[in-house]
Each structure stands twice: as structure tokens, then as C-alpha cells.
Amino acid sequence: MKQLLSLFAFLPLVLSAQYFNGRQLVLEEITVPGMPALQSFAWGQHNGQWFLIGGRTDGLHRRQPPFAFLATGNNLSAYVVDPVTQQVWSAPISALPQSMEEQLQSTNMEFEQRDSTLYCVGGYGYSPTALDHITYPNLTAIDLGGVMDAIRNAQPIAPFFRQVTDARMEVTGGQMRLLNDRFYLVGGQRFIGRYNPMGPNQGPGFIQEYTNAVRRFAIDDDGVSLAISDYWNHVDTVNLHRRDYNMLPQIFPNGEEGFTAFTGVFQYVDDIPWLNTVDIVDTNVTVVPVFEQLLNQYHSAHVGLYDGNANAMRSVFFGGIGRYYFDGNGILMDDINVPFVNTISLVQRNDQGAMLEVQVGAMPALLGASAEFVPWPGTPQNASGIMLQHLFVGDTIVLGHVVGGIESTAGNIFFINTGVQSEASVADLPCAAGRSSAIRSSSGW
């Protein structure tokens, strides 16, 4: 979406307010001059500014192997974005050593920030070195303070990147999070060769290996050398066989922190999403009982909110792709072609651990797939980025920004996709929780 949109106060108001302590969930689109159109990228944040790298500049990948994941759609720049002053700076990554340049223009890297260092793992794309599409077996560390200052001042960026090769990092489409100084690399796959919907033994062929795993490890980083240590691996070929999904940090009813891996794709027998979700607490990996997530099953922008007064954990998903959605009459529709959707949904875990899913709004278009949610640094949150809802004070609380992703012209475009039915989005959607009497537009978002 290219134009500034009016403020969106999503309905139904009563339903939204019920889960946000009497507040509405509100989005507004702003236009930032020079904002890159990106999807499936990595990001970090330093001193209120964003660092964006990797991902793709086109929309949904095409079905035909010669046209799927073309190198011409790779993001070849690193960006710094100031969401307050609405300034954008960029630098080409061609100045980096080739192994770094190749990995950091790939799609669906896993990434996580510790202090002022952004760690990027894996990713998929065409490698001129390998003369093929590969999943990169690399861990790259990026000094955010140094590289962002260099980009803003048009200085060399190479001194702020370091890389190590480790086959255990050869993953794309998973999720990586940090808790208690241990990184959790969950799900995803190793994919070598060109995408081909006819299968691995047709046409150019490919290798596809799901990790089916939770990999927990430390990253030893003294500012010069990188190494993986204290490595633990848990394999579950049934419940961890998923990629391109959402994993959110959670505060569980007993006060422990961990993660929930939500749905994702694809099931073994049919190309449809999983419906179950998996909790990860330390080395305990457990399927959530008696719960199926029907909405927002593909990777999308998402945020977690914890209400300490009710001991409730709320996970919010913004648009994307899903098998199920509600039509204009409020009827739940089941589409096994798994279309783009505009659903904003919430999954709540109450103080007894019971899970409930509801729709709390709608995106202004078919947005959100492969987008990212960048939290507003001034909003109360814990070290894992969980918004502390019980500490919200004031009429309007800025939660953060929904950035980039894919915008589609229709729900089901995969089988007719010629490359023009969708595009990478330049959308920047500030998200706020506001009381209905005080909702307003604010250029400071």
C-alpha cells in the first residue's frame, strides 16, 4: 500500500476491548519516504532506530522453477530507518566478503538480537559460489551501533560484520529466540535447489529436509571470535515438522517463561497447515492439549502481551495466510488452498492454561504475510519483548510497527501467479491500544 491511510479502529469494538482492558486495537498506515519494500527480512533495533537486512523485494514466489526465488528479487542493501523523523539511510552489502554478502541477501533467515548485536542464521537463496540455490550454513554477527552509524554517515560497513560456518545453523524458515542467554532455533528446513511444486524428483529437483527439532545453544562472542557451545538438540518428527510459522515468547501461568510455536506448514500427507501448537520451556517440549489454532497460520507480524492482573498471556497475529477465515457474515470458512487473509486474531492463555482463539480485527488489505512487528521501545515490556499490559498508563499506548511483508491482490493467487498479483510492501503500520474516547492520529508514531 503506497498511500497514507486513515486511522483504522477495528471492529468488533466490544470483542477487541474485552481482551485489551477496555481498549481498541488501532492501526494507521504512514508513508516513510525511501522506505524499502521488503518481505521475509531480518531486523534489529538500536537507540530507537531500525536496522533491516536480507529478505526479498518481490511478492509471493512463483510456481515455475526457472522463475521461483530469482536472484533479481534479493535485497542487496542494508537499511537504517528512523520511525520518528521518518528518515531512511542505506548501504549496499556488496562491500562485504562474498560469503557474508551471499547469506545476508537471502530470504527467511532466523535472527535474534542480544544487547546491541544482531545474530543472523541460515537463510535460502541463490549462491553464485555454489551455482545453485542453497540454505546457508552460517552464523553472522552484526554490531548494530557500529553499522548503523556507518550507514548514516556513508562510511565502510564491513568492520561491523563477523561470520562463522556451522552446519547446525543451516536452517531457513524457522524461528530463533533468546532466553536466559540461550538461543532457541526451532523448526525450519534445509532446502537445496530450485523450488518445484511437482516434488523433489521432477525437473531440476531439490533436497528438502525439515529439522524437526528444537536446537538450544549458547553463542560465545568476545567481539572478535564466534562459536556455538552448550548445544542441545531435541527431535520430534511429528510435532516439530513445521516451518514458516510464528513463535512467540510466553509467560506461562506458573510464571515461567518460554515459547509457543504456533501452527505453520506443511503436514506430511497434505499441503495444509498444522493446527496444533507446541510449548517450549527450557528442555521441555509439549504439545498444547485440546487446542487448535485455525486463524493466521503462516508467518506474519505478531506480538505478545501479558496481563499480570489476570495472569493471562495474549498473542496477536496480524494478517498473513491461513486456511480458515471469517466471511462478511461472520461464518468461518475453510479453504484448503490456504489463501492470503486480512484477519487479526488473538490467542489467549488464561491463568489455568486454557487456550482460546478469537478474531479481534482486520487488516486494511491482504497484508501481514512475512511481515515483522517492531515493538515500540518506550512501551512497558520485558527482556523477551513481551508487552506488559498491566503496566499500560494513559489513553493511547503505542505497541509498535507492522513493517513490510507481502501485499496480495486476492486471496488465492498461487496457481495463477505470474509475479504481478502480489508485491513486497512498503507499509509501515503503527499499532496502538487506545481507549475509544481518545483514539487519534499521531505523526510521532
pLDDT in tens, 163-178: 999 999 999 999 999 9
Q: How many domains does the chain have?
A: 2
- Name the pTM for this structure: 0.94
277 and 135 in one domain? no
More confident position, 162 or 17? 162
- Cis peptide leading into residue 12 (ω within 30°): yes
**25 and 47: one domain?**
no
Whether residue 418 has pLDDT greater than 80: yes
- Asked if residue 255 and residue 123 are part of one domain, the reply reads no
On whether both 407 and 268 belong to a single domain, the answer is yes
As a whole number of angstroms, the distance between CA 301 and CA 227 comes to 30
Residue that terminates a domain, selected from 243, 264, 285: 243
Q: Are residues 78 and 17 in the same domain?
A: no
Residue where one domain finishes, among candidates 206, 222, 243: 243
Does 14 share its domain with 69? no
Task: Return the pLDDT at 363.
Answer: 94
pLDDT tens, residue by residue, 85-132: 999 999 999 999 999 999 999 999 999 999 999 999 999 999 999 999
Distance CA 384, CA 97 (A): 32
Instruction: Name the burial class of residue 162, with classes exposed (0-12), middle (13-18) and buried (19+) by CB atoms within 10 angstroms of its CB.
Output: middle
Instruction: Report d(CA 439, CA 179) in Å as an integer.
Output: 35
Tell how far CA 81 is from the center of its chain: 18
Q: Is the pLDDT of residue 12 over 70?
A: no
Task: Answer whether 300's CB lies under 8 Å from 320's CB.
Answer: yes
Q: Is the pLDDT of residue 246 over 70?
A: yes
Residues 17 and 67 in one domain: no
pLDDT above 60 (res 295) = yes
Mean pLDDT computed over 76-87: 96
Work out the pLDDT band at 435, boundaries 50, 70, 90.
Answer: low
Which 3 state secondary structure label does DSSP give 216?
strand
CA distance linking residue 108 with residue 210, whole number of Å: 14
When the pLDDT of each residue in the chain is averaged and rounded to a whole number, the result is 92
Same domain? For 301 and 155 the reply is: no
Looking at the chain, the whole-number percentage of residues with pLDDT higher than 90 is 84
CA distance readout (Å), 280 to 8, 153, 248, 346: 35, 42, 10, 19
> For residue 64, which phi and psi values (nearest 5 degrees)?
-80, 125
pLDDT in tens, 184-202: 999 999 999 999 888 888 8
List pLDDT tens digits, range 139-164: 999 999 999 999 999 999 999 999 99
Q: What's the chain's length in residues?
A: 445
Domain match, 198 and 325 both: no
Query: Shortest CA distance to 307 belongs to which of 25, 20, 24?
Result: 20
Domain boundary (199, 224, 243) is at 243
136 and 8 in a single domain? The answer is no
Residues 212 and 279 in one domain: no
Q: What are 359-417's pLDDT values in tens digits?
A: 999 999 999 999 999 999 999 999 999 999 999 998 889 999 999 999 999 999 999 99
Residues 296 and 445 in one domain: yes
Residues of the domain holding 412: 1-31+248-445
